[in-house]
Amino acid sequence: MSDPVFIAPKGGLTLGAVAEACGVALPEGADPAQAVTGAAPLETACPTELAYMDNARYGDVLATTRALACLVSPRFAPRVPAGTIALVTRDPYRAYAGLLARLYEEAMRPGSLFAASGISPGAHIHPQARLEDGVRVDPGAVVGPGAEIGSGTVLGPNAVVGPNVRIGRDCSIGAGATLTHALVGNRVIVHPGARIGQDGFGFAMGAGGHLKVPQVGRVIIQDDVEIGANTTIDRGASRDTVVGEGSKIDNLVQIAHNVVIGRHCVIVSGVGISGSTTLEDYVVLGGQVGVVGHLRIGMGSQIAGSSNVNRDVPPGSRWGGTPAKPVRTWFREMTTLARLAERSGKDEAEG
């Protein structure tokens, strides 16, 4: 059985181009024309590949790397071995990410799984849908009446775009994703299995039964948003659900109706955000955070993983715990409980 390479590096990158892209100077004696064939971890990089290092725990690995060049912060530059070129930068990881984007363009967003260059056989495009030139559609994809899709966008196999949905240019809609009642900007990535625009969970509760409340809003997704696999974003009940530009949403996230997410937020896997909550710009929610409905989390706030937020969070805060609170208070509570438990154990042992 053959052993395929799923994402091959793009050729033509030189050491000089790497240095220029990172804004660093090559050390004396380095050949700027030296070809760079790829990138790899410190321990496996070969003498034509790049690596990076920005964590002290990998200091010993850095000292033995065989990489052609390594992006490092000034702190770790002295530990780069003689056979490896040190490319010293204040933010090695960010510089490395930029280089990976040049080396592995194919990995930046999902592409056609059928090598489609247009509309594939087996795709179902309604006659009233409008697709600009350059849209690629894989087999099994469905595009409903009145939908509009911009050039450079890719629809994966069995993706569904509902009636009157608008999708901008250079987007990627992954295999099996479903978009209804949605307006989507440019350069948006929707990974496989995501569900966008379905009913929000709205019922008028009563002793005689629960009356369904029709959900008549939309989902608005602005430019440069990325939405992970199997994430769900409900359409609004009467207002719109909104995801602001540049926000990044991990896999398996639930965003309820009428939620407003600001610009450049980061939402990690397992998060659940209840209805009508607002996240201001640059908010970060760690994995498995739960947020009660009708709250506001202020600009730039960070919530630690597995926390439960049940009240408004002021801008610029760092909170954690259940219920969530400022991290200093949370840490003091945990320390106090640990001491009480230790003291109780000693008392039981002495008794």
Structure tokens at 214: 């029709």
CA atoms within 13 A on the CB side of 71: 28
Q: Which H, E and C letters describe 279-334, residue by residue?
A: ECCCCEECCCCEECCCCEECCCCEECCCCEECCCECCCCEEECCCCEEHHHHHHHH
Instruction: Please state the pTM of the whole predicted model.
Output: 0.93
Q: Is 257 a catalytic residue?
A: yes
d(CA 244, CA 164): 21
- Give whole-number Cα distances, 10 to 22, 58, 104, in Å: 18, 28, 6
Distances (CA, A) of 274 to 244, 282, 294, 319, 335: 17, 19, 8, 18, 31
- Asked if residue 211 lies in contact with residue 194, where contact means CB atoms within 8 angstroms, the answer is no
CA–CA separation, 340 and 345 (whole Å): 9
pLDDT of amino acid 351: 61
Predicted local distance difference test score (pLDDT) of residue 51 = 97
| Spans of the chain below 70 pLDDT | 347-351
User: What Å distances lie between residue 112 and 56, 164, 209, 258, 288, CA to CA?
Assistant: 40, 23, 46, 32, 31
- Is 155 exposed, middle or buried (CB count within 10 Å of its CB: 0-12, 13-18, 19+)? buried
Side-by-side strand order, sheet with 302-303: 136-137, 154-155, 172-173, 189-190, 226-227, 248-249, 266-267, 284-285, 302-303, 318-320, 325-326
CB proximity list for 339: less than 8 A, separation 6 or greater: none
Question: What 8-state DSSP symbol labels residue 81?
Answer: -
Q: What tokens does 322 get?
A: 């259940």
CA distances to 3, 24, 97, 106, 218 from 6, rounded to whole Å, are 9, 31, 19, 10, 37
SS3 168: coil
**DSSP 8-state assignment for residue 57:** G
Quickly list DSSP for 196-212: ES-----EE--TT--EE
Q: Residues 124, 210, 257, 264: which is the catalytic one?
A: 257
